[in-house]
Structures are given as structure tokens and as C-alpha cells.
Amino acid sequence: MKAFVLDRYGKKAALRLEELPTPELRDDEALVQIHAAGVNLLDSKIRSGEFKLILPYQLPLVLGHDVAGVITKVGPGVKQFKVGDEVYARPDDFRIGTFAEFVPVKEASLALKPKNITMEEAASLPLVALTAWQALVEKAKLRKGQKVFIQAGSGGVGTFAIQLAKHLGATVATTTSTANVALVKGLGADVIVDYKTQDFEEILHDYDVVLNSQDGKTLEKSLRMLKAGGKLISISGPPDPDFAREIKAPWFVKLVVRLLSAGVRRRALARQVGFSFLFMRANGSQLREVTRLVEAGVIRPVVDRIFSFDSTNDALAYVESGRAKGKVVIKVR
């Protein structure tokens, strides 16, 4: 099969197109022929080596965390899916590799593709949908009548999270640029802060939940706009001790993580608010919930650009530029 391979870590390291053997299938996996793959900032961060401590991948490595395609083979332990099923997924860590023609995916991480959207639209969803679901439903337990601040509303996670939060009955505030105000308003944002001309800390007060996806300065300001008992969930760091325990990190990684997040955890405690780090994980049953919402018309995918498979490096560069509205997708088949 054709695949784009990362040979060495580096910010500008280009992925190399190579012919590789089709991956070996484990008993609990299905082999998916990839029709489309989503591109995420996570791919870029892994490429640059930012996650070496917590995700010690062996190089060479095929990147890619989102897939939509058709099952061509199933392992003997797979019961819920069959050859010919149209599926989508976020493959598990250490089994990623959707910038290719085939990828094996654990049965527990798969879901049937929503019937009312294209393969490209389906490939745009898994990572951002699961991130929003695990942040807002699982960690924050967001409920009707609460106020949530979702940063970067026109980005991949933001466009999904706004729609999910509105479905849950929350009042949604977000930041975006002037050019994207109509987009986030159309997705359901109630309060829109133009980050180029306004400071969200001066406008937003007494919020129940913040979904933080930006830098440390934004994180500090976000802590201050939460009400007592509020929750800040960060997908951009710093990682916390709970996360280190979840991934069964070695002792020295646990120590580093504890030190990295000590300051923000101390300040959160002083303000009587909760802080937690989220590193999204694969989950087929949550994706099935997403499928229901998409098929019911509650949530729609937002795709900015579709690149050809040959242009995978260009797709990655476009995501890194920060200009994408919604998701960037590679059409493989």
C-alpha cells in the first residue's frame, strides 16, 4: 500500500511517500480501506517531536488520526462489523496511520459512518468529535442552563464543540476573528468575542466551563473568568497527574508532568475552580452517539478544504498555518 512516512522528528520534516506492506491485523481489529483521512494539529505536533515523552513512537511512522472508509477484512474476534461496512474512527494511539491506503482499527474504536454525509465529511469528525464529547459530556458534565466558553470557535474542535454544547442546552461563548463571526453564529454561538479587537476576560464572567485550546496566557485569563466550582478543561496542556496515571506513564514522566502543571493547579485551587487536562482517546461507543446526532441533523461537519492524497504534506502545512475554518481532509480514494 502507499503511505506517507515520517522518518525523523522535526518541525519542517516532510513526510515521504513510500510503498509499504498492508498492516498485519490483530484478532480484535478490522482492516479499513481508507477513503478519506482528517488532518489534525496533533499530527503536526507528533511530527515535530512535542509528544515524544508521552507517546514514544518508533520511527519510521505513518501519521494520521482520523479515518473514514470501508472494511475489507475482519479479525476472528470482531463481532459487530463485517466486510463492506462503511465506518469511521479515530484509531488508538500506537495504531495510528491514516495517511495511507489501509489502516487496522480496533473493533471497540469503530463506528458505522453516518449515512447522510460523505466519506470526506465523516473523516473530518472522529478526533474533534471525541475531544468535544470527552471534554463537555464526560469531564464537564455540561448541562442545560450552564455557560460554557469554547475558545477558537472556527477551528476543528470549536466548530463541533459549539454545536454539541448548544444541543446540551448551554449558553455558548466563543472567540473568533471578524471574518468568521457569521460561521460561529450559524453553529449556535450566543456570545462572540472578536479576539483581534476585544479581550474576552473583560466581557465574559462567571462561566461554568471553559474548553481551553490556546496558550498559557489564555489559560490564566480563563481561570479568572470561571465562577467558584467551575471547571477548566485544557486540550493544549499542561498535562496533569491524572493524565499521567491514565496512560500508565513511567515515574520520571509522572514527575515531569506534576511539575509542569503545579502552577496552574495551585492557582485553580486558590480560585476554587477545577483544572484538568484532556488527551482524547479512541472510543467507538461515543462515536456511535455522534453518528446519531449527525444523522438527526443536530450536528453538521465543517470542512474547510479537501486535499488530494499526493498533497498530504500541503494539507499538513495548511493546518499548521492556523487559517483553517473547521477541518482539513485528505481524499485518499
Q: 53 and 16 in one domain?
A: yes
Query: How does pLDDT run across 104-156, given as a tens digit for each residue?
Result: 999 999 999 999 999 999 999 999 999 999 999 999 999 999 999 999 999 99
179's CB contacts (< 8 A; 6+ apart) are none
Domain CATH code at residue 173: 3.40.50.720
Mean pLDDT of 266-271: 98
One domain for residues 47 and 171:
no
Q: Is 132 a domain residue?
A: yes
Q: Do both 100 and 191 map to the same domain?
A: no
pLDDT of 12 higher than 90:
no
Whether residue 62 sits in one domain with residue 36: yes
77 with 172, same domain: the answer is no
CATH number at residue 52: 3.90.180.10
Residue-wise pLDDT for 70-81, tens only, equals 999 999 999 999
Give the CA angle between residues 203, 208, 213 to the nearest 5°.
Answer: 75
Quick one: 119 and 132 in the same domain?
A: no
Q: How many domains does the chain have?
A: 2
Range of the domain at 154: 128-277
How many Cα atoms within 13 Å fall on the side-chain side of residue 182? 1
Do residue 319 and residue 251 come from a single domain? no
- 31 bridge partner residues: 73, 104
Q: What is the pLDDT of residues 278-307, one digit of tens each?
A: 999 999 999 999 999 999 999 999 999 999
pLDDT of residue 140: 98
Based on the fold, state whether residues 135 and 154 are members of the same structural domain. Answer: yes
Same domain, 108 and 162: no
Are residues 89 and 226 part of one domain? no
**Residues in CB range of 263: below 8 A, 6 or more apart:** none
Do both 268 and 318 map to the same domain? no
H helix or E strand, kind and range, residue 203: helix 200-203
Which residues, 6+ apart, have CB-to-CB distance to 94 below 8 Å? 55, 57
Whole-number Cα distances in Å, 63 to 47, 92, 147, 207 = 8, 12, 36, 37
Q: What CA–CA distance (Å, rounded) separates 279 from 124? A: 18
pLDDT band at 311 (very low <50, low <70, confident <90, very high): very high
Residue 153 located in a structural domain: yes
Q: Under a CB-based contact definition with an 8 Å cutoff, are residues 45 and 90 in contact? A: no
Contact assessment for residue 255 and residue 240, using Cβ atoms and an 8 Å cutoff: no
